[in-house]
Structure 1
Amino acid sequence: MPRYLSVPERLGVFGLGVGAAAAAWPATVSATGVALPCPLRWLTGVPCPACGLTTASVALVRGDVAGSVAANPAVLALAALALVVGPLLGLRAIGALPPPVPWSQRARRHLGWGLGLLALANWACQLNRLGIG
């Protein structure tokens, strides 16, 4: 069975979904008054690596890049993937690009370590920003 999306493409599609949700989120909260807290921070007081991603996404959708980066710098990587994946998927849909080639086990391991280190660095930024630790 062919793979239709690579891992970076899946992250980009996730980024597109985050962007769409960020555009609708402020109106939803205003209309309903319901906001969802971060479960980890609510239970333990410790923010997760994705803490501030909603705030960062909403700020980025509104064009406030500095506020977005201040809330969670990882949003820029997610936004970059989202911008690239749209045209890429369009080109695949019309047959201009072939399906993704599976990565080697070594490449997947390196990507996993790289993403893990980026998540840890982002978490350290969040802990520092919030004065925890």
Structure 2
Amino acid sequence: MFSVPERIGGFGSLVAVAAAVWPMFVDRTGAGLPCPLRTMTGIPCPGCGLTTAAVALVRGDLGTAFHANPLIFGLAAFTVAAGPLVALRAIGVLGPPRPWSSERRRQMGWIAGLLAVASWLFQLHRLVPSLTD
């Protein structure tokens, strides 16, 4: 069993691999990955720019990654921390994760929600000029 941070870190590992391969796929096929909400309404979602940010981060372009979506740095932090954590659990240095209490789950839900709102406001400011005029 993996903890929530370990699961997020595992997801981040998959994102890093995909971000390394994605540009080659796009170059060969011309296919892109548009945001469905932005395509249909013109309004960006909280996750807009994450693909661009992940590709930029894998390439070491921190400025572009931040400008596209700063949330990628949180995902990267979980990814970096998860590897050693999983390894320490595997060799028995750390015990299995303990389940979160309902209060802790509620707190994390609020934090995740606030991060989503902050990201959405960032994307609205970045991608919808009429809102900032």
The reply to whether TM is greater than 0.5 is yes
1:69 positional shift:
0.3
2:23 aligned residue (26, 32, 48): 26
Quote the residue 1:73 is aligned against. Answer: 70
Find the counterpart in structure 2 of residue 93 from structure 1: 90
Amino acid at match of 1:69: F
Query: Which structure 1 residue ranges, 5 or more long, are not aligned?
Result: none
Unaligned runs of 5+ in 2: none
1:1-133 maps to which residues of 2 (within 5 A)? 4-132=1-129, 133=131
Q: What code does the residue aligned with 2:101 have?
A: S
Normalised to the residue count of structure 1, the TM-score between the two structures is 0.93
Aligned-residue Cα RMSD (Å) equals: 1.0
Number of aligned residue pairs: give it: 130
- Secondary structure at the counterpart of residue 117 of structure 1: helix
Residues 43, 128 of structure 2: 8 Å contact kept? no
Stretches of 4+ aligned residues off by more than 6 angstroms:
none
1:45-66 CA-to-partner distances (Å, cap 9, x unmatched) read 1111000000000000000111
The answer to which of 114-123 and 31-40 deviates more is 31-40
TM-score by length of 2: 0.93
State the percentage of identical aligned residues: 58
